[in-house]
Amino acid sequence: MKKRYDRAYFDRWYRGRSPIVSAQELRRKVELAVALAEHFLRHPLRNVIDLGCGEGSWLPHLASLRPRVRYAGYDPSEYTVAEFGDSRNVRHGSFGQLADLRIRERFDLLVCADVLHYLDEDEIAQGLPPAVRLMRGAAFFEVITSEDAVRGDLAGLKRRPAAWYRERLTAAGLRQVGPYTWVRSEMHRRASPLELS
């Protein structure tokens, strides 16, 4: 049975009695990603692409931190595009379809939170090269691994070790610089050794 990312899904996991991520926890993640991206870019965040953005929940936090930031969200859910397309700039598209979307802009921050662990290996392999090409700054790849204690939405979860993701992201030309945060190799080379993970 195919998983449906409809209003009922988001009501259950994001607005229910015990949401997967609280508003405070999400705010801390956004602040972390913004701070690390700006540290390595050496300028304030100008634009963000959010892959698998769901309802675009990062946008209100980004906008309060950087009111002039431009945000583009992509999600395969028809519900999220219909409901949040205009108000939060959510467009239809999936991680594996990135190359077909012909996005020309490069982004100071690429967000892909709570997505990769639900995708097949082929889709990750298809999406990583174009994702890296979209990066001007940092990427925030939040992923559940087989080493993590997990609560919440387990349907379709692929339990891969952290080393599996590190190998793929490194092979794609990225280097880790903090929690869930990666930069392209050329930016990594400008970093101080103690800045690196």
**Which band of pLDDT confidence, cut at 50, 70 and 90, is reported for residue 196?**
low
Instruction: Say if 127 falls within a structural domain.
Output: yes
Confidence (pTM): 0.91
Instruction: Specify whether the backbone of 71 is left (phi greater than 0), alpha (psi in -120 to 50) or beta.
Output: beta
The pLDDT tens digits of the residues spanning 102-122 come to 999 999 999 999 999 999 999
Instruction: Say if 189 falls within a structural domain.
Output: yes
Question: Who has greater pLDDT, 195 or 126?
Answer: 126
Whether 14 has a pLDDT exceeding 80, the answer reads: no
Whether 8 has a pLDDT exceeding 80, the answer reads: no
The amino acid that residue 183 corresponds to is V
The pLDDT tens digits of the residues spanning 57-80 come to 999 999 999 999 999 999 999 999
Report the C-alpha gap between 138 and 49 in whole angstroms: 11
Indicate the number of domains in the chain: 1
Instruction: Say if 1 falls within a structural domain.
Output: no
Whether 159 has a pLDDT exceeding 70, the answer reads: yes
Instruction: Say if 141 falls within a structural domain.
Output: yes
Cβ-Cβ contacts under 8 Å for 188 (sequence gap 6 or more): 174, 175, 177, 196
DSSP string, 165-188: HHHHHHHTTEEEEETTEEEEHHHH
Structural domain of residue 20, as residue ranges?
Answer: 7-195
User: Which pLDDT value is given to residue 20?
Assistant: 75
Instruction: Say if 2 falls within a structural domain.
Output: no
What are the tokens at 132? 């890296």
What is the domain-level CATH number for residue 134? Answer: 3.40.50.150
Instruction: Say if 17 falls within a structural domain.
Output: yes
Question: Who has greater pLDDT, 18 or 22?
Answer: 22
